[in-house]
With several copies, the nearest count.
Chain A
Amino acid sequence: MSADGPVDRLRLLEAILFAAPEPLGADELRVRTGADDVGRLLVELRESYAGRGVELVETGGKWRFRTAPDLVEAIARPIDVARKLSRAALETLAIIAYHQPVTRPEIEGIRGVATSRGTLDQLMEIGWVRTGKRREVPGRPLTWVTTEAFLHHFGLPDLRDLPGLEDLRAIGMLDARPVLAAIPGAGGEGESGDDAP
């Protein structure tokens, strides 16, 4: 145990108040610092913070640090409010991730429904997708690709680290539902043939 001189007791007091999960009274501080003159030390500590960005205050007989009131508004900070992505957005994002570069008609072909402009806008605004090169076919449609931020958010070092179809199958994410086997005459080849892109 160090902390004998008045300076050290002041440091100790400062550290205890800083780390405390709740405001502390003088009595408890006296016990924990071993300083009989804790009242004087508290005043000294408060003075040493005067005019700084942080101040030591006493409320209801208990002491705590807090940020200087005039700075409260200035330290306002953006708080992330969790929002869930719609299923349409998730699917569109997944298709872009797996099929990039991919055009919007291709995305719609894979999803089987029209993609609202808002979905891509939203993904772009979040910063997970961006437009890529134009496809060199008639009409030169824009393609869509994922961004660095996408990799970062989903914890992927690289696009190659995106789990492949084999991995998905292993996890059980490709388990097919029971098939509508009753359609008469629809037997034979379970051909899909609709691999869009």
Chain B
Amino acid sequence: MTTAADPFEQHEIRHLRPDQLVLDLDGFEGPIDLLLTLARDQKVDLAKISILELADQYLAFVAAARRIRLELAADYLVMAAWLAYLKSRLLVPEPETVAGDAPAEMAQALAFQLQRLEAMRAAAARLLARPRLGRDVFARGMPELPPSLERPAWEATLHDLLSAYGALKRRREGVAYAPPSWQLWSVEHAIARLRELIGDLPAWGTLASFLPPGLADGLLGRSIVASTLVATLELAKEGRLEIRQEAPFQPVWVRRRQSGDGEGVA
């Protein structure tokens, strides 16, 4: 990682001599960067670069680096192996049967990679050479704020929007935890059940005896009691039942309404 004042400073060639004791690999951002610097050393148009010569330089460099300090990042070694392979293919043309890319194509691809990176570096340098605002050219130092006509600017960020939606979703999930209705004993259910039962029960019976066997505890149980009571009231209103209770909190008695009382039943 270079943090020099001029970021596009060329790497010093003296760092690159394999026989030089100072080998500053930290100055390079990976093997492509090193290759590009070596290629510049050939002092020819990158389009006419000799990939063979470049491979030799790179391999020599890596060999020297390994002699001096053994630690070398893996990608440098991968590149060395690849270049050694490319070199052997370039030197010894093999029959067509060999699988993989043709050596000339591989060399050309590498040359393009180097040219393209070089072009981008040159482009960056040309960008930096332009007159730049705040460094080379300056905007008005004392902008004047003209009298204003106030206009509301609604301040809402994407973050606000997403949190609002998130909160909404959370709220709805909360609502979903209310007891689902199928766990309650509905009045309709209780009426239907009572209609069936009262036919068999001419005498007075307690309300409790009309409750389903194995009455559940908790909310469901309480809802059964409540629904059944409401159902008796409903059937009494229809003229099918009579209800009696001796005193508050005493058992509720019900029986089928005795026939002969005239009133038709809807």
**Chain A 82-104 near chain B by CB (<8 Å), digits 1 or 0:** 11111110110111011000000
- Interface-forming stretch among A35-43, A64-72, A132-140? A64-72
Q: Are A83 and B150 in contact (CB under 8 A)?
A: no
Q: Are B144 and A76 in contact (CB under 8 A)?
A: no
- Interchain CA distance A7-B101 in the complex, whole Å: 66
Q: Are A112 and B171 in contact (CB under 8 A)?
A: yes
In the complex, whether B53 has a CB less than 8 A from a CB of chain A is no
In the complex, whether A5 has a CB less than 8 A from a CB of chain B is no
In the complex, whether A61 has a CB less than 8 A from a CB of chain B is no
A-B residue pairs in contact (CB < 8 Å), sample of 13:
A15-B138, A18-B144, A20-B142, A21-B139, A69-B136, A77-B149, A79-B151, A81-B151, A98-B165, A173-B120, A173-B163, A180-B105, A186-B219
Q: Are A82 and B120 in contact (CB under 8 A)?
A: no
For B37, the chain A residues whose CB sits under 8 A away are: none
Residue total for B at the interface (Cβ-Cβ under 8 A) = 92
Q: Are A85 and B168 in contact (CB under 8 A)?
A: no
Q: Are A173 and B110 in contact (CB under 8 A)?
A: no
> Which A residue's beta carbon lies closest to that of B134?
A79
Q: Are A179 and B174 in contact (CB under 8 A)?
A: yes
- Interchain CA distance A69-B134 in the complex, whole Å: 11
Contact among A20, A83, A97, A183 with B109 in the assembled complex (CB-CB below 8 Å): A183
Say yes or no: A80-B142 contact (C-beta < 8 A), given A88-B1, A184-B78.
no
**B184 CB to nearest chain A CB (Å):** 9
- Interface-forming stretch among B125-133, B235-243, B254-262? B125-133
Q: Are B138 and A67 in contact (CB under 8 A)?
A: yes
In the complex, whether A166 has a CB less than 8 A from a CB of chain B is no
For B143, the chain A residues whose CB sits under 8 A away are: 19-22
**Chain B 231-251 near chain A by CB (<8 Å), digits 1 or 0:** 000000000000000000000
In the complex, whether B92 has a CB less than 8 A from a CB of chain A is no
For A155, the chain B residues whose CB sits under 8 A away are: 130-133, 137, 158
Question: 8 Å CB contacts to B: which residues of A20-77?
Answer: 20-23, 64-69, 72-73, 75-77
**B10 CB to nearest chain A CB (Å):** 11
Contact among A76, A87, A185, A186 with B8 in the assembled complex (CB-CB below 8 Å): A87
Say yes or no: A110-B150 contact (C-beta < 8 A), given A97-B123, A162-B123.
no
For A194, the chain B residues whose CB sits under 8 A away are: 172, 175-176
In the complex, whether A174 has a CB less than 8 A from a CB of chain B is yes
- Interchain CA distance A94-B4 in the complex, whole Å: 18
**A42 CB to nearest chain B CB (Å):** 17
Contact among A22, A78, A174, A186 with B166 in the assembled complex (CB-CB below 8 Å): A174
- Interchain CA distance A183-B80 in the complex, whole Å: 11
Q: Are A110 and B148 in contact (CB under 8 A)?
A: no
Residue total for A at the interface (Cβ-Cβ under 8 A) = 73
- Interchain CA distance A112-B24 in the complex, whole Å: 19
> Which A residue's beta carbon lies closest to that of B31?
A185
Query: Which B positions have Cβ atoms within 8 angstroms of A?
Result: 1-5, 7-8, 29-33, 75, 78-79, 82, 100-101, 105-106, 109-110, 112-113, 115-117, 119-124, 126-128, 130-158, 160-180, 183, 216-220
> Which A residue's beta carbon lies closest to that of B113?
A179
Query: Which A positions have Cβ atoms within 8 angstroms of B?
Result: 15-16, 18-23, 64-69, 72-73, 75-88, 90-91, 93-95, 97-98, 110-113, 126, 152-156, 162-165, 168, 171-177, 179-186, 189-194
**A101 CB to nearest chain B CB (Å):** 16
Q: Are B106 and A180 in contact (CB under 8 A)?
A: yes
Q: Are B151 and A19 in contact (CB under 8 A)?
A: no
Q: Are A94 and B161 in contact (CB under 8 A)?
A: yes
Say yes or no: A84-B139 contact (C-beta < 8 A), given A154-B132, A183-B82.
no
Q: Are A193 and B176 in contact (CB under 8 A)?
A: yes
Q: Are A85 and B137 in contact (CB under 8 A)?
A: no
For A193, the chain B residues whose CB sits under 8 A away are: 176, 180
Q: Are A76 and B136 in contact (CB under 8 A)?
A: yes
Q: Are B128 and A90 in contact (CB under 8 A)?
A: yes
Contact among B133, B142, B183 with A153 in the assembled complex (CB-CB below 8 Å): B133
Contact among A78, A154, A164 with B161 in the assembled complex (CB-CB below 8 Å): A154
**B54 CB to nearest chain A CB (Å):** 13
Q: Are A185 and B32 in contact (CB under 8 A)?
A: yes
Instruction: Kindly name the residue among B32, B127, B130, B170 whose own CB sees the greatest number of chain A CB atoms within 10 A.
Output: B127
